[in-house]
Structure 1
């Protein structure tokens, strides 16, 4: 299986999360790496996941993986 890399230009680190946008609701959702590459989603490395910023007025929803 091929490793997925961060979607940010110039970044070659391994992706650990997936980012999607809902423009109508001015919301960005970040969660665990999606099962398959989605052309409407952006895979991010740990560094870019932590540094994520959105336009003023937008909400960021972070979905965490449950640990048992």
Structure 2
């Protein structure tokens, strides 16, 4: 099986979570790796998962099933 990498430009670390956005509701969801192939989903490594920030007014829903590092 092919390793999935972080979607951040210049990052070559293994992805551990998937980020999706709901622009109309100004909400982002961060959870375990999704099935893949969704052009609107972004895979993130552990470092970028921990550093995630959103614009003021946005809500981030974090699913606690993300693997512990």
Distance 2:65 2:56 in 1: 27
Report the TM-score, using the length of structure 1 for normalisation: 0.91
> Which residue in 2 is equivalent to 1:3?
3
Corresponding pairs, count: 66
Q: Structure 1: which 4+ aligned runs deviate by more than 4 Å? A: none
Report the TM-score, using the length of structure 2 for normalisation: 0.90
> Which residue in 1 is equivalent to 2:12?
12
> Which residue in 2 is equivalent to 1:54?
54
Aligned CA RMSD, in angstroms, stands at 1.3
Distance 2:27 2:16 in 1: 20
> Which residue in 2 is equivalent to 1:44?
44
Shift of 1:36: 2.2
Shift of 1:21: 0.3
